[in-house]
Amino acid sequence: MAKKTFSNTYIFIYSAALVVVAALILTVVSVSLKPLQQKNQAAETKQMILKTIGVEATRDNADALYAQHITEQDGYYAFSGGIVLPLRGTGLWGPIWGYLALDGSSTVVGAIFDHKGETPGLGGEISSEKFAQQFIGKKMDTQPIALRKNADRDNAYEVDAISGGTMTSNGVTDMLESAYNDYQSLPRPTSQTSPTEEERKEATE
């Protein structure tokens, strides 16, 4: 037995067979479970968007509630009180994303964040309720919201960053900034704010 397992032919056949079997199992499982997984992911996105406008949905009733409350527009989602901005960015280890619900005066009424693989307990904290709650009442009108150390609670443009999660926090700040730039180019639901310096610059360009 021992002799046989040392021969090169045996090693080649063994490793080839092992890899083929493993690949086969994974492919069959992945292909057969894909529809279920995609359904779960789609429902989760709808749940997240609904949550920012204060509607708690379960995975089963997310479709119905979404159809009832949200109208999808080009680059954003409209609801009765304003719009929901999608956020996309990169954290330390992988993609991070979120949704920000803004009312007519660009004040945040709801926020939610999630991540693919940030460190649990540190950068991973962006997906917590506590972190998202900080955004409520902040503003996206004349400048983007940024994450800072020891942020001033009364300042409408900053929220507390995560201790031990600096790289992820910087990623969130960048993500908010790029969402802010997109937001500037969107048609405003109501024009309560006067055009900002940046907007004027954009208009003249």
Partner 1 sequence: MKNFDLIKLPFNKNNPITVQVLGVCSCLAVTAQLKPAVVMSLSVIVVVVLANLIVSLLRNTIPPRIRIIVQLVVVSTLVVLVDQVLKAYVYDVSKQLSVFVGLIITNCIVMGRLEAFAMVQKPWSSFLDGIGNGLGYSVILIALGFTRELFGSGTLWGYPVMERLGLYNIGYENNGLMIMPPMALILTGLIIWWQRSRNKDLQES
What's the token pair of residue 91? 């954290």
**To the nearest whole angstrom, how small is the minimum distance from the Cβ of residue 97 to partner 1?**
13
**To the nearest whole angstrom, how small is the minimum distance from the Cβ of residue 71 to partner 1?**
26
Contact between 25 and partner 1 per CB under 8 A: yes
Applying the rule CB under 8 A, the residues between 166 and 205 that interact with partner 1 are none
Nearer Cβ to partner 1 (18/67): 18
Residue 121, classed as helix, strand or coil, is coil
16, 71, 75, 120: residue in contact with partner 1 (rule CB under 8 A):
120
Contact between 16 and partner 1 per CB under 8 A: no
Which one-letter amino acid corresponds to residue 152? D
Number of residues binding to partner 1, judged by CB under 8 A: 32
| Number of residues assigned to the chain | 205
Contact between 36 and partner 1 per CB under 8 A: yes
**To the nearest whole angstrom, how small is the minimum distance from the Cβ of residue 22 to partner 1?**
4
Residue 183 CA to chain centroid, in angstroms?
16
**To the nearest whole angstrom, how small is the minimum distance from the Cβ of residue 135 to partner 1?**
19
Find all residues with CB under 8 Å of 174, minimum gap 6, and list them: 89, 90
Find all residues with CB under 8 Å of 111, minimum gap 6, and list them: 52, 98, 99, 100, 101, 132, 133, 135, 136
